[in-house]
Amino acid sequence: MFMKNIRSLILSLTLLLMTSNLSEAQTMGKYANVNGIKMYYEVHGTGSPLVLIHGGGSTIKTNFSRIMPEFAKTHQVIAVELQAHGHSGDRDAPESFTQDADDVAELLNQLNIPKADFLGFSNGGQTCLELGLRHADKVRKLVIASAFYSRDAVPETFWNGFETPDFTHMPQIYKDEYLKIGTREGLMNMFNKDAQRMYTFKGWTDEQIRSIQAPALVVIGDQDLATPEHAAKMARLFPHGRLAILPGTHGSYIGEAYNPKPESKIPDLFVAMVNEFLAGEL
């Protein structure tokens, strides 16, 4: 009888744990109706709000799975998926950094978050620039990671590739992760809209970057897509800009899925550096 009761207790606890984990998984990801699309977001941790904005073709998981749990130890992390990406819906309109910025700002309105810090990787960094320009009242500090503000930041061959975009050039890990969420039609739609956005990319003027008053930390890998020289120029244009050049390629220093290096400590260094910047100690 005693052993039977023990087995029953263990079974009950196991079921309770499974139910709790399932409930957490179900409630972690949420949706909001934002400017005509169903926008997916996740909230992790507590503390001052930190919004994570992914790059083109990416999801929360592919860009931030390594660093998000670390940031959630000290921040209320709000990770978003933008138009046509990941779990989020699409609209009958091209993608644009201005629209992405407006979508993120509206999501924060709905979450009753008046002001936040923002960390954008790659195209997410360009969305951060638009947030600094269009929604300055919502921005406390910006972290611009592996992004650029003008076409001359990258080789001309990069731009030539968007004239006739080749789907085979899209990293397989991005395709695989999207297809865990959506359809192949959705994947091709995202790819084409991402390519069109870059094909028509005009960038921002020096004067526009100078007008962003929020403190900004510009981060680049020493073997990134954009050059460290461009990142240094952008950091100097910001009235309150700082610069960090880390050893690594595009996204490797944040542990991005395309460049997985589980043994690397550089993502931990990145988190520590960003936390010091956000705390005003850098």
Name, in order, each residue with C-beta under 8 angstroms of 150's C-beta and a sequence gap of 6 or more.
203, 204, 230
Whether 139 shows a pLDDT value over 80: the answer reads yes
Cβ distance 81 to 54 under 8 Å?
yes
**CATH code for the part of the protein at 30-279:** 3.40.50.1820
pLDDT digit string (tens) for 11-47? 443 333 333 333 343 346 999 999 999 999 999 999 9
Confidence of residue 8 (pLDDT cuts 50, 70, 90): very low
Higher pLDDT pick, 7 / 164: 164
Question: HEC states along 225-275?
Answer: CCCHHHHHHHHHHCCCEEEEEECCCCCHHHCCCCCCCCCCCHHHHHHHHHH
Per the prediction, the chain carries an average pLDDT of: 91
The pTM assigned to this predicted structure is 0.90
Among candidate residues 100, 94, 88, 91, the one with its CA nearest the CA of residue 135? 100
Whether 73 shows a pLDDT value over 50: the answer reads yes
Tokens of 18: 């499974």
Tokens of 60: 């929360």
Q: Which residues partner with 34 through β-bridges?
A: 37
Mean pLDDT of 116-139: 98
Which pLDDT belongs to residue 133? 98
φ, ψ at 3 (rounded to 5°): -65, -35
d(CA 77, CA 16): 27
pLDDT digit string (tens) for 208-248? 999 999 999 999 999 999 999 999 999 999 999 999 999 99
Among candidate residues 66, 70, 19, the one with its CA nearest the CA of residue 252? 66
Confidence of residue 92 (pLDDT cuts 50, 70, 90): very high
Which pLDDT belongs to residue 10? 38
Which pLDDT belongs to residue 89? 98
Which pLDDT belongs to residue 13? 38
Whether 1 shows a pLDDT value over 50: the answer reads no
Residue 151 CB coordination number (10 Å): 13
φ, ψ at 232 (rounded to 5°): -65, -40
d(CA 15, CA 33): 34
Confidence of residue 194 (pLDDT cuts 50, 70, 90): very high
Which pLDDT belongs to residue 27? 40
Among 5-14, 112-121, 151-160, 270-279, name the one with the lowest average pLDDT.
Answer: 5-14
Which pLDDT belongs to residue 68? 98
